[in-house]
Homo-oligomer: A and B are copies of this chain.
Amino acid sequence: MDPNGDVCFDEIIKQNLGPDQLKQFNKIHYGREDHCELKLQETTVSASDKYNFQVEGYSFEAAKEEIRRPRVVKIGLIQHSIVLPTDKPPREQREAVFDKMRRIVEIAGTEGVQILCLAEAWSCPFFLCTREKEQWAEFIESPESGPSIQFLAPLAKKYGMVIISPIFERDVDGKMWNTAVVIDVDDCGQYLGKHRKNHLPSVGSFSEINYYDPGNTGHPVFETKYGKIAINICYGRHQGLNWLMFGLNGAEIVFNPAATIAEFGESFWGIEARNAAVANSYFTASINRVGTETFKVLKVGEEKGVSRTYYGSSYVTAPNGCRTPGLSRNKDGLLMAELDLNLCRQIRDHWGFAMTARLTIYAKELKEKVGTT
């Protein structure tokens, strides 16, 4: 329970329903009667106790096939808070996050996670709400050689783990972007590629558009050793066409690293990525940060400053709509899920959503309605 007395959806359910109601609730709400929890290693349990982070794991199976072997991949999502006050020197802030994250990433590695995704702008405070620029410049980094990839690449190599690292990017021309970097394992933990956030929020006084442009990388799908993955960064989850294009380009898992607060639609956090999983017959994995971040500096509004609380609740959805419970609303955590990627095609065949989508008609209708660039 957090200082406001808030408990998360899943805790409320677990604490209050008897076995029969729980079974029925799980069937209707989560899409299956049993969450299929993974057994954790003892070292994981003791580390999570010692360092105060949550670890959960679930599995999603597919039917056996004759020709294709099961393609089971274990993914991990990490939700975390920043560590130091936001007015400490950037390097100190970043190193403190690295210290904490190292422990959780190591646990993911020892648990056999093969694709790990961190939250949006994971290595720094989410300073965009200040609308200030200069003092945050040290948090903007090179995708190929900045502090974040330098920290993560050895861990990717050590554990044979693909890592998705969402950062603030400084490109070769000095321009800023909101970018997810994919660190691959085939080339010993090296930079594989990146995707830039396609849709930028401008909600009330919160706006990212005065920091950077909407992404210019389209809808790339990265063919990693473990499966075809894509990244839909934060606010892009509100756009069905964004999800659709990743699917049409072949994604089997779409990660949605985010940094979002309760006032910005917590009641549909559990809806959008899940809807996308069903609509596109792929897995989705949603990651949100936790904790309260307070910023003293704020020229617009002067002395008031700004404070934002993130609600975690990271979760995974399968193409058949089944989902895991969410992680806590307020605690660091690692959520793991074993996915058989064969389920994507099986479910696509079953529902027929792709077969019946009439996309050529929509391409025409949309063009007639809005024009094209």
Contacts and interface: CB of A to CB of B under 8 A. Distances in A.
A3 B246 CA distance: 43
A351 interface: yes
Contact of A372 (B240, B363, B371): B363
A356 B214 contact: yes
Given A24-B12, A31-B267, A241-B244, A366 B373 contact: no
A372 B360 contact: yes
B265 A278 contact: yes
Contacts of A267: 27-32, 321-322
Contacts of A353: 238-239
A360 B371 contact: yes
Contact of A351 (B203, B240, B322, B371): B203
A268 B370 contact: no
Nearest to A244: B240
Contact of A271 (B202, B266, B271, B364): B271
Interface stretch (A117-125, A193-201, A252-260): A193-201
Nearest to A248: B369
A7 interface: yes
A357 B363 CA distance: 15
A274 B268 contact: yes
Contacts of A201: 352, 356
Contacts of A359: 241, 366, 369-370
Contacts of A200: 356
A63 interface: no
B352 A202 contact: yes
A110 interface: no
Q: Identify the interface centre among A218, A275, A362: most chain B CB within 10 Å of its CB.
A: A362
A31 B9 CA distance: 12
Q: Is the interface of A mostly helix, strand, loop or mixed?
A: helix
A362 B27 contact: no
A356 to B, nearest CB: 5
Interface residues of A, number: 75
Contacts of A244: 240-241, 366
A88 interface: no
Interface string A339-372: 0000000000011110111111111111101111
B25 A21 contact: no
A9 B17 CA distance: 12
A337 to B, nearest CB: 17
A321 B9 CA distance: 16
Contact of A355 (B20, B202, B275, B364): B202
25 contacts: A8-B28, A16-B18, A27-B266, A198-B358, A199-B356, A200-B356, A202-B352, A202-B355, A202-B356, A204-B350, A214-B356, A214-B358, A239-B279, A239-B357, A240-B275, A240-B279, A245-B366, A245-B369, A268-B275, A268-B321, A272-B279, A359-B370, A361-B372, A363-B370, A364-B367
Q: List the 5 closest A-B pairs by CB distance, nearest first.
A: A240-B240, A31-B267, A275-B275, A268-B321, A364-B372
